Amino acid sequence: MDASERHLRLLTETTAAVNSTLDLEEVLNLVATKVADALRADACFVYLYDERTDELVLRATHGTSIEDMTRRPRMRTGEGITGTAAAERSPVMIPAQAHLDPRFKQFANLPESQYESILAVPILVRGETLEGALNVRTQAPRAYSDAEIELLVSIADQVAQSIVHAQLYSQAQRRVAELEALAHISEAVSESLYLEESLEAIVKTTMDAVSATGAALVLEDGRIAWPEGRAGKHAVRTPLRWKRRVIGELVADRDAPFSDDDRALLEAIAHHAAVALEHGRAVMRGVLAQEIHHRVKNNLQTVASLLRLQSRAEGVDPKEALEHSVNRILAIAAVHEVLTEQRDEDVELAELIDRLRAMLVQSLAAGRVVEAKLEQVSLAGSRATALALVFSELLQNALEHGAGSVRIELARRDGDVVLAIADEGAGPGDAAEGTGLSIVSALVRDELGGSFALIADGGTRAEVVFPG
């Protein structure tokens, strides 16, 4: 077989090999291996051209492991021997002592100086558009023949088209993955009625979409929502914008640098995250507004009922009746305030009772000794309103009609909640049939499902027991 037939066979085999796959990394690695074999070279380095930075970036090697490099070598067109071949769109061949050539560029992590000869050619599409460059190296001096140079140029021409196809395939695959990620996020946002579920889906999809080691959403108040994974060597913080206002950040971490495509995808995900966040907040605002409206309506109805009951009472001092009504309204307002602050359906009774105690002592008996021993007990908001009214009536009676110090107790006993208010007085006397205690009896029976008793034992103890 003469040299021309051999070169044709090598060209055909190399072209067939690099066209056997559309995976870009696999194409480049095949190029490096097949070219080195075809020309019986010790090493082959394949560079791709990055048009945005006007640089050649080393992407595949034969004879040296690219995985061992902490930072991939890159050079501008016209820089180094291979960069010169790319800039001039023509082969450059140096048979010996290539490292002494004034155009030689040394890379700390690429041992090119151990090679004597170099043959570098550009990778061109249709002989014009630069896609990259490749070189072959030998450790012994070697002058490449015109036929060998022509063979390498022909291989590079075929490789150029394979690289273009692989890049298009890679872009298509990446685009499909991006669309799938965004579709998954859109589905999660639209189907979930809960903000936390939407944020969790966004964070987890972000990690999958860009192969992140960790991700999180940082809200505008600094609160971190759904942190996942771990921090990496590189991090990207993408703002969440809503109507020209930054409402948070999408943070992604990984050990490898993020590409421009990764950053573009993160921006798209951040947009969906902003929409989800505002959508969730709008839903919560609507639910909260509806709940507040419902509570206010119920509270006003309760106030109206109490005022009607008070108006039917006979032989009551108008000023005292008005003061009692004001205290009842303030008790209802205290429950509403606690519910709004906590944004929860349950009320911590110890906190509520302590607020009411301070309010009533200040208005009715400033300086009176009032002790409280309160356990932590939670109660639903609707029942908490009834308990607040009961407590206000009983403490008001103890302060107005009782004597000595007042002791307040809140505890659990055998599965029930016990509220007791004791003083050193003889008891309410005729007031036991008055409006206040009538309200207490009705609320304990109808709203709390419990029992109410006045106990005389060296003083007076009003005790309410109801299931907790």
Name the domain boundary from 144, 170, 196: 170
Same domain, 250 and 375: no
Local confidence band at 294 (pLDDT 50, 70, 90 cut-offs):
very low
Same domain, 102 and 200: no
Give the per-residue pLDDT at 288: 43
Whether residue 401 is contained in a domain is answered as yes
Q: Residue 152 to residues 83, 90, 123, 157: CA-CA distances in angstroms?
A: 16, 11, 10, 9
Q: Residue 343 to residues 239, 347, 454: CA-CA distances in angstroms?
A: 28, 10, 35
Same domain, 231 and 246: yes
Host domain of residue 336: 313-467
- State yes or no: pLDDT of 343 exceeds 60: no
Residues 240-279 have pLDDT tens digits of 888 778 888 889 999 888 888 888 888 888 887 787 777 6
Give the per-residue pLDDT at 407: 92
Same domain, 361 and 266: no
Look up residue 239 and give its two tokens: 């703002």
Decide if 308 contacts 368 (C-beta within 8 A): no
Q: pTM for this one?
A: 0.44
Name the domain boundary from 106, 136, 170: 170
Same domain, 7 and 132: yes
- State yes or no: pLDDT of 142 exceeds 90: yes
**Is the backbone of residue 35 left (phi > 0), alpha (psi -120 to 50) or beta?**
alpha
Whether residue 321 is contained in a domain is answered as yes
> What does pLDDT average to over the chain?
78
With pLDDT > 90 as the criterion, what percentage of the chain qualifies?
18
Report the alpha-carbon distance of residue 109 to residue 112 in Å, rounded.
Answer: 9
- State yes or no: pLDDT of 137 exceeds 90: yes
Kindly report the CATH number assigned to the domain that includes residue 87.
Answer: 3.30.450.40
Residue with the larger pLDDT of the pair 59 and 315: 59
Give the per-residue pLDDT at 194: 58
Whether residue 223 is contained in a domain is answered as yes
Whether residue 373 is contained in a domain is answered as yes
Kindly report the CATH number assigned to the domain that includes residue 333.
Answer: 3.30.565.10
- State yes or no: pLDDT of 459 exceeds 80: yes
Question: What total number of domains does the chain contain?
Answer: 3
- State yes or no: pLDDT of 310 exceeds 60: no
- Compute, in degrees rounded to 10, the torsion defined by CA atoms 322, 323, 328, 331: 150
Same domain, 126 and 206: no
Same domain, 270 and 350: no
Give the per-residue pLDDT at 231: 85
Residues 34-68 have pLDDT tens digits of 888 888 899 999 998 988 888 999 988 888 776 55
Same domain, 134 and 205: no
Same domain, 132 and 257: no
Local confidence band at 424 (pLDDT 50, 70, 90 cut-offs):
confident
Residues 154-207 have pLDDT tens digits of 888 887 877 777 777 766 666 666 666 666 666 655 555 456 777 777 888 888
Average pLDDT over every residue of 315-330 = 63
Give the per-residue pLDDT at 366: 62
Whether residue 237 is contained in a domain is answered as yes
Report the alpha-carbon distance of residue 410 to residue 419 in Å, rounded.
Answer: 5
Give the per-residue pLDDT at 434: 58
Average pLDDT over every residue of 417-424 = 90
Residue carrying the six token digits 């607020």: 355
Same domain, 448 and 339: yes
Whether residue 55 is contained in a domain is answered as yes
Sheet with 129-138: strands ordered across: 74-76, 55-62, 43-50, 129-138, 117-125, 92-94
Whether residue 113 is contained in a domain is answered as yes
Query: Of 130, 128, 129, 134, nearest to 156 (Cα)?
Result: 134
Same domain, 155 and 203: no
Average pLDDT over every residue of 68-75 = 73
Whether residue 458 is contained in a domain is answered as yes
Name the domain boundary from 115, 150, 170: 170
Same domain, 234 and 361: no
With pLDDT > 70 as the criterion, what percentage of the chain qualifies?
71
